[in-house]
C-alpha cells in the first residue's frame, strides 16, 4: 500500500484529498506547515510527497533538503524520493 505525505496549509483541502485517497486504499498523512512536515519526513517512510509551493513556517526547499539529507526517509537506496508540487490557488 502506498504511503504518501501531503503538505498544504489548507486543512479542508487536505482533509478532502486524504479522505478520497484513503477510500482508495492509500495511506496518507498531511502537514499544514513546514515544521510538522519536516518532523513527519524524519519519522516516516514515504513513497511520494505532494506539497504546495508555499508552506507556512518554511519553504519547499527546506523539505527537499531534509529528504535528500536523511536517507532513512526514503525506501530507495539513494536519497531520492518522488516529489510533486501543487501550485497555490490564486
- Please report the pLDDT score of residue 18 as a whole number: 96
The pLDDT tens digits of the residues spanning 36-88 come to 998 888 888 888 888 888 788 887 777 777 777 765 544 543 345 666 666 66
- Tell me the whole-structure pTM to 2 decimals: 0.77
Which residue pairs from 83-90 have beta carbons closer than 8 angstroms and sit at least 24 positions apart in sequence? 83/48, 83/49, 83/50, 83/51, 84/48, 84/49, 84/50, 84/51, 85/50, 85/51, 85/52, 85/53, 85/60, 86/8, 86/50, 86/51, 86/52, 86/53, 87/52, 87/53, 88/52, 88/53, 88/54
Average pLDDT on 18-41 reads 93
Amino acid at each position: 500500500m502506498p504511503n504518501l505525505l501531503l503538505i498544504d496549509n489548507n486543512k479542508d483541502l487536505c482533509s478532502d484529498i486524504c479522505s478520497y485517497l484513503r477510500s482508495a486504499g492509500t495511506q496518507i498523512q498531511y502537514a499544514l506547515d513546514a515544521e510538522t512536515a519536516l518532523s513527519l519526513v524524519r519519522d516516516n517512510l514515504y513513497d511520494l510527497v505532494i506539497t504546495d509551493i508555499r508552506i507556512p513556517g518554511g519553504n519547499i526547499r527546506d523539505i527537499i533538503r531534509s529528504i535528500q539529507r536523511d536517507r532513512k526517509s526514503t525506501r530507495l537506496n539513494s536519497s531520492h524520493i518522488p516529489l510533486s508540487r501543487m501550485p497555490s490557488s490564486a
